[in-house]
Every structure is written in structure tokens, then in C-alpha cells.
Chains A and B, each alone.
Chain A
Amino acid sequence: MSTTPAPLVIDQLIDDRRTRIIVCCGSGGVGKTTLAAAVGLRAAERGRHVVVLTVDPARRLAQSMGLTSLDNTPRPVTGVRTGGTQRSGSMHAMMLDMKRTFDEIVESHADPDRAAQILANPFYQSLSSSFAGTQEYMAMEKLGQLRRADEWDLIVVDTPPSRSALDFLDAPQRLGRFLDGRLLRLLVAPAKLGGRTGLKVLNASFGMVTGVVTKIIGSQLLRDVQTFVSAMDTMFGGFRERAEYTYRLLRAPGTAFLVIAAPEPDALREASYFVERLERDGMPLGGLILNRVHRSPAARLSAARSLAAAEMLQGLKDSESSALGIAALRLHAERMRQAESERRLARRFTAAHPLVPVAQVPAQPDDVHDLNGLRLIGAAFEAN
């Protein structure tokens, strides 16, 4: 069993003009947003016309890309080095505004009066701003829009900070199913039930059902839902269709998923689930990026020898240089131990998924908040 994975060369991926969509996914706190921005910048500086769709960037990172507000519109990023005339790329970035995106779908599918009616509905308002899964759904919707607009030849998507990395694959369909759902229709339009076989049981106990639902959620909300559903009636088919379009887009050959993980047990476990899920769904997996890997420039000195040397110094006469030596040797030993435990985790992942290519991105001493920081990360994308 091999524990050396194939290298994931991100430069190859972004230099390949057939790559049109890169989806960065992984559990929370692994540096997805920063990596998505670094991939976007690197691709732009290598000649691609890139748009980066981010969901929830750190303020300073957003500012570094020229994003000062969440306005749902791609903004040009200044300071991108476009090199020679042969390969002049460009970079845009945008922050997702999920409510705005939802509103736009409504506006584009309904006549103005009906759209206004839907937008003012209290149930719609809570659905579009707080429904679990709406953010994921809207991120995918936006991705579909950007792809259809065809103004960029590469779209880099940063997935929402879900409770689980898998949420964004499931949520769009869940929301689509829900909006399109039979139960929703049954509850709000019992009269249409008619003599449909198989639903008679439900019909018989329908009074009880609505009774309980009213008790739980209140009659006002139920009325809001009823108005919402009848106003949206013509759009329902559209929701499922759109969700399916994006799902197909994600499975298309021009898409690559980059699964991002920190070299930590939880993040790698989540990455494993994600890789398995992508394989099961036939999604094009680009590979795993191990982010924030610790490396030592003095790896030739092992942790054990380093600690032994520190102990030896401790027995000597106290001096400025030996105090510094002890500190440096101890620190080095800790770094080496950390690097070893990271390697062990990486080997474990590769043993379970031997065919998944892996790239490593070294930990940066500071948080990244400018294009130079992103460039430093991008330096790890080249073949080595």
C-alpha cells in the first residue's frame, strides 16, 4: 500500500484552459476563503480571466481584494500583475449576498406585481434570510449565473461555512425539494387533493394535521405560507430546474473540486467524507490541499537530537548564546514533532484514498491580508 500520494499541481490545473470552475470546499476554519483567493490571483497572474466568488471573507482579506461591501457584484481587483502582453489575465471578486440573489431570482421569474407581493411576504423574508441551506443554494445559483454570463474563463468558488462540508452539495436540492414539495402544496391547498389514491389516509386525517400544524406554527404563519405558495406557484418548477442545472454544472468535466483540510484529525476526517461523497456522486475531484503544513528549514536535525543538544547546553555555564540556543533547539524539536504528526495524518489519509492527489501549502507566520500574502501561498502551487 502506497503512502506517497500523487502530487497535486495546482498550476497545471489553472493553466489548463479547459478548467472553467474550481470549487474550494472543506470544513470550517481550514482557510478555504484565503486559498480560493490565492488560487484566483495565481490564475489571473498566469493569464486567466478569473472571478472569485467568496461567501464570508475576513474583513482585511476582503479589503485587500477591493471588496468593501457585500454587494453581490463582481468587482475588479487592482494590483494584479498581468505580466507580458501574451498572457494578460484579470481578476474580479465578489461577496455573496444571499437575500439579494434570492430576490433577483424572484424578480426574473415573476411579473413586477407578483414579485413585489412575494418580496413583501413575511414568510419569504425569513426564508430568504435565515432558512438553513439558503446560503448554499444561493451560492450555487450565483455560480450558475456567473457561468451563464460567460464573461470569465475561470470561476473560483469558496463554499459557505457550513456545519459540515457536505451541506452545500445537499442543501440546494433540499431547498429545491422543499419549495417544490408535495407536502407544502398539500398543506396549503387541501382542496386540490381530490380523489388521488394513496393520499386518502392523509386526506382523512387532514383536519388533525392542519390542526397540529396550526398549533405549532400558528395560523398567521400558515396563512403567510399559503399566500407565498400561491404567489410562487408558477416558479416552483423553475427552482428544481435551476438546482439541477447547477448540479450538472458541478459534474461537468470543466469543474474541479479542491478539498481543503488542515493537517488535523477532525479536518482530515471531514475531508475523507467529502472525497468519498464526491466519488460516489461522480463529481470531478481535483485533489486535496493540505493547508498550513509546518515545515522546518533545518529538518536534517531530528527532534531527539535537538532536545539532547538543548539539555547539554543547559548543563553549561549560563550565557546569552546558550539561553538563545536552548530556546531555538527546543522550538525546533517542537516544530519537528508537529511536522511528524502532520505527516502521520497525511499518510493515514493517503492510505485510505491512495488515488487522490495531494498538494501541501506551508503555514504562514502571519495572517494573510494582502495580495503579496496571497502570492506567497500561490508559490506552493507550482510543480516541485
Chain B
Amino acid sequence: MLVSVRDTDWDGVRLHVVSGKGGTGKTTVAAALALALASNGRPVLLMEVEGRQGIAQVFDVAPLPYEERRVAVAPADHDRPGGDVFALAVDPQSALIEYLEMFYNLRQAGRALTRLGVLDFATTIAPGLSDVLLTGKAAEAARRKSGGSQVYGAVVMDAPPTGRISRFLNVSSEVSGLAKVGPIRGHADTVRSVIASPQTVVHFVSLLEEMPVQETLDGIAELQEVGNGGIRPGGIVVNMMREAELAGSKGPGRASLGSKTRDTHALEMALKAAGLGDDQGLAADLADELADEARTARSQRALRRQLGEAGQPCYELPLITDGIDLAALYRLAQALREQGAA
């Protein structure tokens, strides 16, 4: 039996939901997390639910169908080979057809219903139905067994943005307007038990900017309110940090001597020593840059502190300036592993 040799912050978690404000790099982080988890040797399913084909873009593969496809292999961890990362783009209609087929043997009917637009109608009109179908697919994959053992070591969901995440996961109240009894209701109850269990966590991707931080804190608070016992919050991933930010207390923002005149004077001496003394205004310009950085660093420290006060583990990921490719994802996955996220 494979036993993880190292402790991570999320041992025992089967479903990782990744949310974040738009523009924070949610899909990239979800992909990196899937790779990091697969490094433990078990296959991982990475799924997206918003019809954007973001995963296909990140892994640079053709648009994903409604089918679990292998998109990458995690790097080996010492002598243990890495697990496969499978990807799936779920859409409510396909999930509904699959569901009807599973419970009513309605495959043919499903096609006719699609043609007539009935499924589109149902998933559009019924509040919460789409969400239940999407979260339901994640719950099913997380619990799926074959020959007595779990098919996937973990499932990672690239979920809707922070502003919508609580509602998305709040299966019980979502379907309150739907059938009081019957198959969807029963399905919803199963889904809820998976989402509300400690085997499911919701991670938040943030930047050190005011809006994303505020939304992250609001999102974590809202999770506690969902249903009866709340949903377990996961880690906070501070994404796209520049080198200067990652340097933290050793960063250039801290190097400033506190006044522009003093900085300029000291820089003039340093530039002269470095052979750049000819350029008269250079010291003042660099001092401006430093002062800018000091201001940014100050407000970012405050935001970082605010995130810390949420009491959840925080992980920091570097800014990738040259576009996301597989190598960049491996790098981010490695950073997540080193910090104990997987």
C-alpha cells in the first residue's frame, strides 16, 4: 500500500475546490495543485465547470470533451514515479444526460431531449440544478472506486470565482426550490454530504491587492455560513508574487533609508563605486523606484497580514512572466509541495 511519506496540510482531503477572484490565476493554480498532488504517485482528476476550456489552454492541448483525459504526468518524487493528471471539462447538460442514463436508462431520450432544447431549458430554468450537477460530478469522481480502492488519489476542481463560490457549493439551499422528493433531491443530499465533509476543502487564490484580499476574506467567512456546519476552508494561495515581494523583509522596499534625500545620496556613492557615476540623475531616479517599491511593499505587508489573520495556511507562488507552459506548472507545483500544500 502506498503511504505518503511526508505530511501535508491536507492529508485525507479528496476534493480540492479552487476558487479566487477573476484575474488571480485560479486555473493555473488549480493545474499546479493537481500536478503537485499527483506527485504522490496516485492519479488526480482536474476538472473545470465553467465552459471556458481554461485547462486545455494551460496544458496547451485541444479543447477537452466530456471525458476524462490524461493531460500530464507529475514529476517523480525521489524514486517514486509521479501519477497521471486527468482533465475533464464538465458541462451541466452532459452531466444531466449522464445522470438520466445512470438512473433511468434514458440515453436515447437524452439525445431527443437535447435536440429539443429541453435539457438546456431544465438546466437554465431550475435554480441550482446546474450547480448540483457540476458539484455532483466532482463528488462522484472523488468517491469513485474500482476493485475496492479509489480511482483517483484526489480531485481538483477549478471552481467559479470567489463571489459565487458559496452559492455554488451550497447544494442544500440551492435545490430547495426544486423537487422536494425524487431523484435530484436524493442526489443533492449525497452531494451535500461529500461537500460538507472534512474530505472537501476550498482553497482561495489571491493577489496582494485590495479587492482580491477582501474577496478572499469574505469568501472564507461565507463558507462557515453554508448549510448547517459550513464548508471547510482550505489554504490561501498568494499568486503572482514578484521576486521583490517574495524577498519579504529582505526585499528592496525595506532597504530604503527612509528619506529620498538620504537614499539619493547613498545611491550616488554606490553608483560611483559601481562605475555608473557619470549619469547625474540616475541616483534620484533609482531612489524614486525604491520609494515606489517601499510604498507597495508597505501596503502589501498590510494585506499579507490581513490574509494571515484568516488563520488558514498561506502559500506563495512566483509571478511567471513568460506565459504558462508545462515547465512553469511544474515549477509552481514544486513550490506548492515545498510549502506543504500537497
Contacts and interface: CB of A to CB of B under 8 A. Distances in A.
A and B associate: yes
Given A60-B210, A324-B255, A218 B180 contact: yes
B86 to A, nearest CB: 23
A267 B23 contact: yes
Given A213-B121, A217-B126, A309 B242 contact: no
A205 B112 contact: yes
Given A213-B121, A298-B289, A322 B52 contact: no
B310 interface: no
B183 interface: yes
Interface residues of A, number: 73
Interface in A299-346: 300-301, 305, 309-310, 312-313, 316, 320-332, 334-335, 337-338, 341
B266 A216 contact: no
Size category of the binding interface on chain B: 35 or more
Interface in B22-46: 22-25
Given A28-B22, A331-B244, A297 B288 contact: yes
A365 B212 contact: no
A30 interface: yes
Nearest to B175: A218
Nearest to B294: A365
Contacts of B286: 298, 328-329, 332
Contacts of B21: 28-29
Interface in B88-129: 96, 100, 104, 106, 109, 112-113, 116-118, 121-122, 124-127, 129
Contacts of A58: 210-211, 214
Contacts, number: 200
A225 interface: yes
B106 A212 contact: yes
B29 to A, nearest CB: 13
B292 interface: yes
B290 interface: yes
Interface stretch (B3-11, B67-75, B267-275): B267-275
B267 A324 contact: yes
Contacts of B323: 265
B118 A212 contact: yes
A183 interface: yes
21 contacts: A29-B22, A29-B211, A56-B163, A126-B177, A183-B117, A213-B118, A216-B96, A225-B125, A296-B285, A309-B276, A322-B270, A324-B256, A324-B263, A325-B271, A325-B274, A328-B286, A328-B287, A334-B243, A335-B289, A365-B292, A367-B211
- Closest A-B pairs by Cβ, 6 of them: A29-B23, A28-B22, A325-B270, A218-B179, A327-B255, A298-B285
Given A218-B177, A331-B293, 18 more contacts: A29-B211, A163-B22, A178-B124, A184-B125, A187-B121, A212-B118, A216-B122, A216-B126, A217-B126, A218-B178, A301-B282, A309-B276, A321-B269, A325-B267, A325-B274, A332-B286, A334-B244, A367-B209
